[in-house]
Amino acid sequence: MKQFNALARFMLQAAKNTEVLPTHISLYLALFWRWKQNDFCEPFAVYRKDLMALAHIHSIATYHKCIKDLSTMGVIGYVPSYNYYRGSLIYLANTQHGNQAAADGR
């Protein structure tokens, strides 16, 4: 049920927030798809190149802006990784945990 709560929370925020663009929605759905493929376990690792392809985002700057915006809105917890092989960590249900881990320094 936490899966549907996360999706519903995002959709409600997207409906209210005029700054949410189709790229934000597309990226969130790509994240949700990866979460499903990881059996809804958190955190799960993601890779920029993979998410950009799934979300049909062609600009690295747009990707980084959207993922940062989603984190700032509180709909995802995002722990960036600067290691190409390790991947960044994402939390969709427990978003505060992910943002706290980012603040603590992974």
Q: What percent of the chain is modeled with pLDDT above 70?
A: 88
Domain range for 90: 2-104
Buried b (16+ CB within 10 A) or exposed e, 70-85: bbebebbbbbeeeeee
Structure pTM?
Answer: 0.86
pLDDT, position 84: 83
What is residue 7's predicted lDDT score, i.e. its pLDDT? 87
Here the CATH number for the domain that contains residue 53 is: 1.10.10
pLDDT digits (tens, 9 = 90+) for 64-101: 999 999 999 999 999 999 888 899 999 998 766 655 55
* pLDDT of 99: 56
Mean pLDDT of 30-55: 96
pLDDT at residue 106 above 60? no
Q: Give CA torsion, residues 20, 12, 55, 41, to 10 deg.
A: 130
Number of domains the chain contains: 1
